[in-house]
Structure 1
Amino acid sequence: MMLSLRLSAFVLALSAAPVVAQTVPVTPTSNATDSDPGSAQDAAFTSFIAGLRSRAIAEGVRPATFDRETAGLTFNPRVIRLDRAQPGGTLNSGPPGPMEFAAYRRSHVDQAHIDKGRTLYQTLSAQLARNEARTGVAGKVTLSIFGLETGYGVYTGNFDLIRSFATLAFEGRRRELFTAELIATLKLIDKGFTRAEMKGSWAGATGYPQFLPSVYLRIAADGDGDGKADIWTNKADALASIAAYLREAGWKPGTPWGVAATLPANFDRAAVRTPLVSPRCPRVHARLSKWLTTAEWRAKGVVITGFPAPADNELARLLEPDGPGMPAYLLTTNYSSILDYNCSNFYAMSVGVLSDAVAR
């Protein structure tokens, strides 16, 4: 599963978030799933959850739902261990090192992903076309995200979302974030989804698109017209919801995500280095050049070798994912929309390359 606010970027953001003092220090135990009954931590955890009741009800959660779903809830130390195993804040500072995308591409855009994607691209063609007509988002891209997030629905995570969010909220470093996601999960149960369906990654990404519950509440879409947006078992709804997310992230209809290109031997890379520092995942954006139009890139000797080429007036950034002398790409604003879904160049490049292979 590829973690995606939605979650690689989400997870990276966790380590850089302000630290809130913990009510009780968290001490990892030898048991990966069970807390220590009767401990001071358990008592504090139970008290903390009870203290959220009034807020949850004020935000629209039914009292019976809160009481039922939090009854007997226990702290999960495994979630904290997984959280603390994530890369630290140094990932967001200093110049980025070599990307070495080729090896990552071989393991993520492999023949199995391509073959299954091609089959589904044909099988779901009508659904993908409807989504594209409604949102402008290329169907091959939404299918590619579905494939990379969960292996086209094979693995979606088996952590109980309520327990994970309650644990992360109690631990305290991103208390407001995870408290809000806990309440959003309870709202989903109020909408008719079951606790058994509320499973996902340790950090709370759930369903085929690996949305956070708050993201589901904001943009989940009914893809098959049955009146329900079910991203856990319904591929049509999941693909429609991914398309809705990318549309909200600024997807531009009729524009490719990017295109392969070659650079002249004397290309001046320093002249196209971006002077800007992105407020979100700066190291990811630091790998990308400044924005130029396709015509301006051509004037610098860049030769577009892929298809379709962006229009001459389309803005694009240059990325050499494997360094000078290796294939380069001109990446449009739609690549930025993919980065919004998961702020990782490895991820966004994989989505784009897989989408092209699936549709070929």
Structure 2
Amino acid sequence: MRLGWAFILTGALATPASAQSDPLAPLPAQQPTGAPAQQAASAPAQQVLRAPVQQAASGFDGYRETLAYKARLAGVREATIQATIPYLRLNSTAIRLDRAQPGGASNPNAIPPFAPYKAKHVNSALIQRGRTRYRSHYARLLQIERRFGVEPQILMAIYGHETSYGSVTGNFDLVDVLATLAYEGRRREFFEEEFVAALKLLDRGTSRSRLKGSWAGATGYPQFMPTNVLRLAVDGDGDGYANIWSNELDGLASIANYLRDAGWKPDLHWGIPVRVPSTLNRAAIVSRLKAPRCEAVYRRHSQWKTVREWRALGVMPTRRSLPDHEMATLIEPDGPNATAYLLTTNYRAILDYNCSNFYALSVGLLGDAIAGD
């Protein structure tokens, strides 16, 4: 059952025509009676925060009131609430795309090979375009590295992976899709928090037209969710503004700030390709650690050992190496008899950005190629 939350409006609640077609509502929303509308019309301009109560409105119409209540609790300005929430539109495309996301493989052992994914995301076009930007921004990228401690090629690789270097940032209205996905309910608490954060960005002066992005609510060059825009967007070129929508240096610096916040260790590479001997006893290096999140992702990683210990087991670098004392874990994304990788703790910072081994590996490898490693 979907119940609304009562709140007082200075005018009658507007219901856009698109909101009438609600793919989640079992029945058409009831038309409100005249009495509540009269009460709303006579309400004082100063809004009163009220506890949630059951009311007649249902479906997405009623859920707008829930969002307004939560926005008030979070301190969003009443003017922003009034200018936004009555006009929210349900985005059926966002619902369809969200429902198409895998909820978990039916066969957890049926893992596709990494090689086809790598070929798509570490290709010559992305490498060349990344190198061009890497060279043009090199002096500023070194400043960002000194400030945040993150390798600049990793920043460029994430930028390339997320938005094809700014050319594909998404054109969905963030406010609408976040409200829609919160209403859908699969991850309601998460999307309600992101919706409120988007309203706070409006409060801070970000224009509604700038708040465009993916169907899932990610925005700007770094593809940040609104809570991360509020918390981690930074100025990268010294002009005093953190503009992640049209300023590449601000976007790259914000990615660096994110990775530092996720635990990136300065002067440490993300990982290296290695050759694994056929004699390696894989059963002896299975990790017994239980990850607090993304368990299936971390399950593919071995125990942690020093690089020196891996060498003693015959696991040898194919190009660059890592310091012998560094701790690393092994992953074989294409199984035995193919290229494997020793991964440092900085790989886990990339996983924090997007918890997928294929994503993190391709970011690391794209970054290496951009830097010419």
Bin the TM-score by the shorter chain: 0.7 to 0.9
Does the 8 A contact of 2:18 with 2:90 survive in 1?
yes
Measure the CA separation in 1 of the matches of 2:3 and 2:102. Answer: 24
For residues 29-57 of structure 1, the C-alpha deviation after alignment (integer angstroms, 9 at most, x for no partner) is xxxx9443694189532222123324313
* 2:173 equivalent among 146, 149, 160: 160
Kindly provide the amino acid, as one letter, of the partner of residue 333 in structure 1.
T
Alpha carbons of 1:41 and 1:120: their partners in 2 closer, same or farther (altered >3 Å)? farther
Identity %: 52
Counterpart of 2:40 in structure 1 is none
Counterpart of 1:292 in structure 2 is 305
SS across alignment from 2:205: coil
SS across alignment from 1:40: coil
CA offset at residue 99 of structure 1?
4.0
CA offset at residue 165 of structure 1?
1.1
Measure the CA separation in 2 of the matches of 1:80 and 1:23. Answer: 20
Counterpart of 1:115 in structure 2 is 128
Note if 1:78 corresponds to 2:67.
no
Note if 1:356 corresponds to 2:356.
no
CA offset at residue 89 of structure 1?
3.2
Alpha carbons of 1:151 and 1:213: their partners in 2 closer, same or farther (altered >3 Å)? same
Measure the CA separation in 1 of the matches of 2:266 and 2:18. Answer: 49
CA offset at residue 23 of structure 1?
4.8
Measure the CA separation in 1 of the matches of 2:178 and 2:170. Answer: 14
CA offset at residue 265 of structure 1?
2.4
Does the 8 A contact of 2:68 with 2:85 survive in 1?
no
Counterpart of 1:40 in structure 2 is 29
Measure the CA separation in 1 of the matches of 2:99 and 2:366. Answer: 31
Counterpart of 2:65 in structure 1 is 50
Measure the CA separation in 2 of the matches of 1:74 and 1:274. Answer: 47
Kindly provide the amino acid, as one letter, of the partner of residue 114 in structure 1.
I
Counterpart of 2:38 in structure 1 is none
For residues 241-298 of structure 1, the C-alpha deviation after alignment (integer angstroms, 9 at most, x for no partner) is 0000100111111111001111222111111111122121111111111100001101
Measure the CA separation in 2 of the matches of 1:296 and 1:146. Answer: 34
> How many pairs are equivalent?
329
Measure the CA separation in 2 of the matches of 1:194 and 1:35. Answer: 23
Comparing 235-244 and 74-83, the one that deviates more: 74-83
Counterpart of 2:44 in structure 1 is none
Kindly provide the amino acid, as one letter, of the partner of residue 283 in structure 2.
A
* 2:268 equivalent among 255, 258, 266: 255
Does the 8 A contact of 1:261 with 1:305 survive in 2?
yes
For residues 76-117 of structure 1, the C-alpha deviation after alignment (integer angstroms, 9 at most, x for no partner) is 2221111111101347xx644344111111111111100000
Measure the CA separation in 1 of the matches of 2:109 and 2:287. Answer: 13
Measure the CA separation in 2 of the matches of 1:104 and 1:180. Answer: 32
Kindly provide the amino acid, as one letter, of the partner of residue 130 in structure 1.
Q
CA offset at residue 329 of structure 1?
0.9
Does the 8 A contact of 1:157 with 1:200 survive in 2?
yes
Measure the CA separation in 1 of the matches of 2:272 and 2:221. Answer: 27
Alpha carbons of 1:325 and 1:73: their partners in 2 closer, same or farther (altered >3 Å)? same
Comparing 218-227 and 147-156, the one that deviates more: 218-227
Counterpart of 2:238 in structure 1 is 225
SS across alignment from 2:209: coil
* 2:210 equivalent among 182, 197, 206: 197
Q: Work out which of the two has the higher radius of gyration on C-alpha atoms and give 1 or 2.
A: 2
CA offset at residue 177 of structure 1?
1.4
Kindly provide the amino acid, as one letter, of the partner of residue 370 in structure 2.
V
TM-score normalised to the size of structure 1?
Answer: 0.87
SS across alignment from 2:301: coil
Which structure is richer in relative contact order (CA contacts within 8 A, separation 6 or more)?
1
CA offset at residue 22 of structure 1?
4.4
